[in-house]
Amino acid sequence: MAFFKKKSVSAPPLPPPKHIAIIMDGNGRWATRKGLPRTAGHAAGSEVFRRIATYCRDIGISYLTVYAFSTENWKRSEEEVTAIMGLLKKYLFEALEKMEKDQIKLRFLGDLTRLSPELLALIDRTNAVSEKYEGFQANICLNYGGRDEIVHAARAFARACVKGEANPDELTEMQFGSYLYSAGIPDPDLIIRPSGEVRVSNFLLWQSAYAEYYFTDVLWPDFTPAELDKAIAAYHGRNRRFGGVK
């Protein structure tokens, strides 16, 4: 009797999460360990964001949301805040030049009213260009706080009720979500926090109800596509039940 060994067939690769969110943490510590000013860490971190966003697009992720500047970050030194805003302006100028080539849509989430007129004008231009593209979208949380977002949404809903446009007794989670900064964007599947800190820091509090978390000691300026692959592999090892039993 002849025996024939079957060829092994590798399983197809698992699809990446549809939406990944990242708390970009560790820029200042990275710079301090290297004897550099904290502003150098933010500059390095902005370049990592560019690389990771491109990688996410290339592997089929639909949405990437990053925590760039929180409502609490205004407490930092004027020098550091000015440097962060300057880096954002630099990034937007470059993005406007490359968006047609890169086909990366940008959207900004947060209370933008505190930003400078120059930065607001750049954001408006970026939004106008982004409307032309479909596909991968990078969301930048700027002057953002999860609690602030929920309060902002509650106020907007209350105003709608006063105008007779909404009924508080008929409010649903889906309807409330339409008042959030992230309206129209699916909730994140995976939230990543580099730097060794193990907390959510007021990030996407409403949207993260059923997100999977991944924490790593790697500081954000050292975060690479290979590190993202590790996070995605860990995500695929989770059993997402959404309150049910599987």
User: Is residue 131 scored above 80 in pLDDT?
Assistant: yes
Distance CA 187, CA 20 (A): 9
20-55: per-residue pLDDT in tens?
A: 999 999 999 999 999 999 999 999 999 999 999 999
- Residues, the chain, total? 246
CB-based contacts of 98, cutoff 8 Å, min separation 6: none
CB-based contacts of 80, cutoff 8 Å, min separation 6: 28, 38, 39, 42
Determine the pLDDT at residue 241: 65
Choose the catalytic residue: 27, 58, 73, 111. Answer: 73
Question: Has 73 been annotated as catalytic?
Answer: yes
Determine the pLDDT at residue 243: 63
**What rounded mean pLDDT belongs to the chain?**
90
- The tokens for 59 are 């592997």
Distance CA 192, CA 20 (A): 8
Distance CA 111, CA 114 (A): 7
DSSP SS3 for 45: helix
Give yes or no for a contact between 52 and 127, defined as CB atoms under 8 angstroms apart: no
Cα 135–13–99 angle (5° rounding)? 20
Determine the pLDDT at residue 104: 82
Q: Can you spell out the DSSP letters for 60-96? A: T--EEEEEEEETTGGGS-HHHHHHHHHHHHHHHHHHH
Question: Has 58 been annotated as catalytic?
Answer: no
Distance CA 85, CA 225 (A): 26
Distance CA 111, CA 91 (A): 19
Is residue 70 within a helix (H) or strand (E), and if so which, with residue range? strand 63-70
Model confidence at 245, pLDDT cuts 50, 70, 90, reads low
64 — phi, psi (to 5°)?
Answer: -125, 125
Q: How far is CA 25 from the centre of its chain?
A: 12
**For the chain, percent of residues with pLDDT exceeding 70:** 92
Distance CA 162, CA 29 (A): 48
Q: Please name which of 154, 7, 84 lies closest in space to residue 92, comparing C-alpha atoms.
A: 84
Domains, the chain? 19-145+187-235 (3.40.1180.10)
Distance CA 104, CA 91 (A): 13
157-197: per-residue pLDDT in tens?
A: 999 999 999 999 999 999 999 999 999 999 999 999 999 99
Determine the pLDDT at residue 239: 78
Residue 193 per-residue DSSP state? E
Give yes or no for a contact between 220 and 194, defined as CB atoms under 8 angstroms apart: yes
